[in-house]
Structure 1
């Protein structure tokens, strides 16, 4: 059995939406209270031992007595919030991330997580799911939900859509063995180049929506500017109830349209990458890719936007978990001189400019396609491991 994440869209009614928003607020409040307490504790006694998640959970009953409305929250979600806060501190200590930040209710992306206890999360009908504190909610998913559910995360997107991310136990699957191996070089004009000569083109979904996105971003900027002027006028004239930016419907409409266009780009890119990675895992038993330092490559401002739109890190992430799911092998190799060495004789021809897409090896006379040669070197390195 393997653990998998299943993302389903849910359609709550008005009452359920209010309960979801309340739970967002409860978990945000507990996070901020615990974070403030830990900061104050360190300021008063820097030598005090750091509290773990269990110690923070012991403070929840006292917090509920002080704030009675916290009793309406889903209890396991508050415990998970404490656990996430402790993990955020640990990542800060390991210098993986920055210091934990206070959460704001103004953030459009909100979420909270619940544990599955005594089957409080289960599918009750073909298109209905039972969720803690929310009851029965209509949902839509691309596959059947397994019976064993470990936890559920309720999330609201920037566009106001609601999703339930289920952590489920699913039967281990394995694609049939093909005894085939491939090295993959990731590029810009061609997204994936294989050592066998195949090239998968990159699709710039951001370019396809560029005109609409530019139009609505201009409208958003213009409407926000007019709203700020109106707010300043109200304040200057001492209006009793000055308006906030959220009160301007035209601003919110433009913000929503910009968010929807960005969401469409993300979904199109994700769908395309899923198709590519699934086909690769089905076709090859060993897949070799290079460990790219995307952050360093982004320093080239002429190619930064094109590099960011390729989502190379997402390709690696998908290949990692899909190879683990389906019994295939993924090898990550160092990219040192993969595009400079001749894959036929091993001669190092030195660094080539990005405009040089083909070159002839002076040692053996082989004509190389730059990207295919790099993919072959990546595969050779993986086999040598």
Structure 2
């Protein structure tokens, strides 16, 4: 089995992903926390309702995303803080929840379980919306419910149509905006008349049919740093838990909480920072390599193998 990659002379309306760095101010950060929490709240409320409905009668018809969206209006009246969120983001939550239930019902292998409740302790927070985002200068974007937010660059958004956007808060404490855009005139590469086959290996990342080898990316430095901070984080968090239990057992008037200890939280951010550096450099290496191959060859044949199975062999 081979996967064939071909260059096409004419391509229109291509979807592309763009990721930008966001620099929200303190007020906008508080608003983002509210919006993250609102998405989590709607997910848990809808999921609890669907679980109870499924337990009471498994023969009831499946609730689609449009019926769930109809329930958002009374839910906003009962919980007015939901109005602080972009209305399209709550509809996307219902869309994701509906798709999760469909995957559960359509799975015949039993590997996909029922959707789970979302926890506020999850480090990577995000919400997705479908509203219109406007550019305002070279470094600012107008995002619904947030206003004008400073960003890294907006020149890459020229001649694009934003289909969907996602605001993310990484464990490192950095905010990002992930965009799904539609490009009417994508970048075209000139034809070279060359063909090549690629063999994926373990020692080397890729071996071409013409003899060229591309080594695997070496991220051992940042991975070692991440392991060191992982141990520090686990040890500091464990000691903080012991002190919290000690205060509870002694029945202290003002017992300390786990969040009051900042030492393990600093270690957690340092660990996430080195993990993100290793992942970003590996992603950048792969992106540059694949772009180079696509520019050099018109036809690329890749052997369809799983590297995990290759690693099992001695």
TM-score (structure 1 length as normaliser) = 0.74
Structure 1 CA distance for aligned equivalents of residues 267 and 202 of structure 2: 32
Q: Which residue number in structure 2 is paired with residue 25 of structure 1?
A: 37
**Shift in Å, 1:248:** 0.8
**8 Å CA contact retained: 1:245, 1:251:** no
Q: Which residue number in structure 2 is paired with residue 134 of structure 1?
A: 146
Structure 2 CA distance for aligned equivalents of residues 63 and 218 of structure 1: 44
The answer to whether the aligner puts 1:85 opposite 2:97 as a matched pair is yes
Q: Which residue number in structure 2 is paired with residue 267 of structure 1?
A: 280
Greater Rg by CA: 1
Residues 183-332 of structure 1 mapped to structure 2, 5 A cutoff: 183-205=197-219, 207-294=220-307, 296-297=309-310, 300=312
The answer to whether the aligner puts 1:179 opposite 2:197 as a matched pair is no
Structure 2 CA distance for aligned equivalents of residues 85 and 210 of structure 1: 35
Secondary structure at 2:157's aligned position in 1? Answer: coil
**8 Å CA contact retained: 2:135, 2:154:** no
Give the stretch that moved more between structures: 41-50 or 283-292.
Answer: 283-292
| Unmatched runs of 5 consecutive residues or more in structure 1 | 301-352, 355-385
Structure 2 CA distance for aligned equivalents of residues 9 and 20 of structure 1: 15
**Shift in Å, 1:261:** 0.6
Q: 1:2 to 1:223 in 2, by over 3 A?
A: same
The one of 43, 50, 59 aligned to 1:47 = 59
**Shift in Å, 1:143:** 4.8
Calculate the aligned-residue CA RMSD, in Å: 1.7
The answer to whether the aligner puts 1:105 opposite 2:120 as a matched pair is yes
Q: Deviations over 1:69-96 (max 9, x none)?
A: 1122211110111001111112222327
TM-score (structure 2 length as normaliser) = 0.90
The answer to whether the aligner puts 1:6 opposite 2:21 as a matched pair is no
Q: Deviations over 1:297-352 (max 9, x none)?
A: 56x3xxxxxxxxxxxxxxxxxxxxxxxxxxxxxxxxxxxxxxxxxxxxxxxxxxxx
**8 Å CA contact retained: 1:114, 1:132:** no
**Shift in Å, 1:290:** 2.1
